[in-house]
């Protein structure tokens, strides 16, 4: 009886050992995962990668470990490696909203904007209250010049997080691009009210004040932005642009030199310095700076506009035409390039085709855009608007009093 009892105990113990060996890898994987998460929270991403990789070796189906390892890799700026982990997490669980959101931010960092929008959109379908996904989708849409889509996203962010300064700040930046300056001013001011230490909000408000020709207010805001973030090159470039608008060329030049010193690849600073040199009559210097701006950021449409317009003024028609068309291809937000393309083609014997091209564009304008000043310019150039009415519309189509002088 004792012997049989001993055998039974031994068999029970043996079965427990085998059972333990079957489940222990999963338990060990969980422990490794928990340790990895702890390392992420403490900021030790490198050790976190080791722990999470071991967890995945022990349990290749542990979705949470792939998501966490992706986050650790993303924190170390390994966006491609992070995306591979997010891909696996999504394969294991196609409804993993967090993995979709994180993969979208990686794609945004890699400038894969269309793909990032797809991920953020899926994340929003799964979690309609995720303000982060709306915010980043709005940023990607804004970069791709889908400004109305971006505005809709930022409106949603404000609705979901009405006490977050970033929501108003990003919407203000989009409204500046839409030239809705009064709304941009209100939103930037709200952002500053909620967070008075955000330098970017002051930059946005300064840019808006400058667009409204309120140069004194703009300078105050840029001064504050520089006080809060003295190493940000674009703040000096922005202030330099404001000073240039006030004809304070010497001080503007100092700010632009400082911006280039801080960031030798600042397209904004080189563009602004190019404008300053052009104003001073140094076309060679301006040409060099505009070319440098294009090289620094080949996806920034407005740099091609600046270069193309200078080349137009120098009667260098072919390069001017190429650069103005490139600006339109990249989603330029102003209509000026279309009119100069018409002028270049007309001057080089292609007036009929130039007018057909411009006329087609004017006819494509919908809603309010068909009544605005650029549409009037297009109709006049193509012979569809009498000169007397064209001059009249220079005042009647102005959105605000500060625009009248420029249109006239």
Rounded Cα gap, residues 367 and 161, in angstroms? 31
Q: Tens of pLDDT along 6-18?
A: 555 544 444 444 4
**Per the domain annotation, does 387 fall within a domain?**
yes
Does residue 273 surpass a pLDDT of 60? Answer: yes
Domains of the chain: total: 1
- In this structure, of 94-98, 261-265, 330-334, 343-347, the range with the lowest mean pLDDT score is 330-334
* 116 SS3 class: helix
Quote the pLDDT of residue 7.
Answer: 53
Per-residue pLDDT band at 21 (split at 50, 70, 90): very low
Residue 396 lies inside a defined structural domain of this protein: yes
Q: Is 82 exposed, middle or buried (0-12, 13-18, 19+ CB in 10 A)?
A: buried
Q: Which two tokens stand for residue 379?
A: 């109709």
DSSP string, 43-102: T-HHHHHHHHHHHHHH-TT-HHHHHHHHHHHHHTT-HHHHHHHHHHHHHH-TT-HHHHHH
24 in a domain, yes or no?
Answer: no
Q: What is the pTM of this model?
A: 0.85
| Assigned domain for 296 exists | no
Asked whether residue 397 is assigned to any structural domain, the reply reads yes
Calpha distance 125→94 (Å, rounded)? 12
43-77: pLDDT as tens digits: 999 999 999 999 999 999 999 999 999 999 999 99
The answer to which of 16-25, 145-154, 283-292, 311-320 has the lowest mean pLDDT is 16-25
Write down the pLDDT at residue 207: 96
Residue 292 lies in a domain: no
The backbone torsions φ and ψ at residue 280, rounded to the nearest 5 degrees and listed phi first, read -85, 0
Counting Cα atoms < 13 Å in the Cβ hemisphere of 45 gives 12
Query: Is 385 among the domain residues?
Result: yes
Range of the domain at 383: 357-408
Residue 266 placed within a domain:
no
């Amino acid at each position: 009886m004792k012997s049989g009892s001993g055998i039974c105990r031994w068999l029970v113990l043996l079965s427990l050992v085998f059972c333990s060996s079957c489940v222990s890898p999963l338990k060990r994987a969980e422990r490794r995962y928990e340790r990895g998460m702890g390392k992420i929270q403490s900021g030790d991403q490198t050790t976190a990668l080791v722990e999470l990789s071991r967890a995945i070796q022990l349990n290749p189906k542990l979705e949470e470990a792939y998501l966490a390892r992706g986050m650790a890799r993303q924190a170390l700026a390994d966006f491609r490696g992070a995306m591979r982990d997010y891909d696996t997490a999504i394969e294991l669980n196609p409804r993993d909203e967090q993995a979709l959101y994180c993969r979208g931010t990686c794609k945004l960092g890699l400038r894969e904007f269309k793909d990032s929008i797809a991920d953020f959109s899926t994340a929003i379908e799964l979690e309609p209250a995720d303000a982060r996904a709306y915010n980043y989708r709005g940023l990607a849409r804004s970069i791709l010049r889908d400004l109305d889509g971006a505005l809709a996203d930022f409106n949603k962010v404000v609705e979901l997080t009405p006490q977050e300064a970033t929501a108003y700040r990003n919407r203000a930046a989009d409204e500046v691009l839409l030239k809705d300056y009064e709304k941009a001013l209100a939103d930037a001011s709200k952002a500053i009210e909620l967070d008075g230490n955000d330098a970017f909000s002051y930059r946005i408000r300064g840019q808006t004040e400058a667009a409204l020709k309120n140069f004194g207010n703009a300078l105050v805001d840029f001064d504050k932005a520089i006080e809060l973030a003295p190493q940000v090159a674009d703040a000096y470039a922005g202030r330099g642009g404001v000073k240039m608008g006030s004809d304070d060329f010497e001080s503007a030049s100092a700010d632009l030199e400082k911006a280039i010193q801080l960031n030798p690849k600042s397209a904004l600073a080189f563009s602004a310095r190019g404008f300053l040199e052009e104003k001073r009559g140094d076309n060679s210097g301006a040409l060099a700076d505009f070319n440098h701006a294009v090289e620094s950021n080949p996806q920034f449409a407005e740099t091609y506009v600046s270069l193309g317009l200078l080349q137009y003024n120098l009667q260098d028609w072919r390069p001017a035409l190429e650069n103005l068309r490139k600006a339109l291809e990249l989603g330029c937000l102003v209509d000026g390039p279309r009119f100069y393309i018409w002028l270049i083609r007309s001057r080089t014997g292609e007036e009929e085709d130039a007018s057909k091209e411009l006329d087609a564009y004017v006819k494509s304008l919908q809603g309010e855009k068909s009544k605005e000043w650029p549409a009037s310019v297009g109709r006049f150039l193509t012979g569809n608007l009498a000169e007397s009415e064209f001059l009249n519309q220079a005042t009647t189509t102005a959105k605000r009093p500060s625009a009248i002088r420029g249109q006239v």
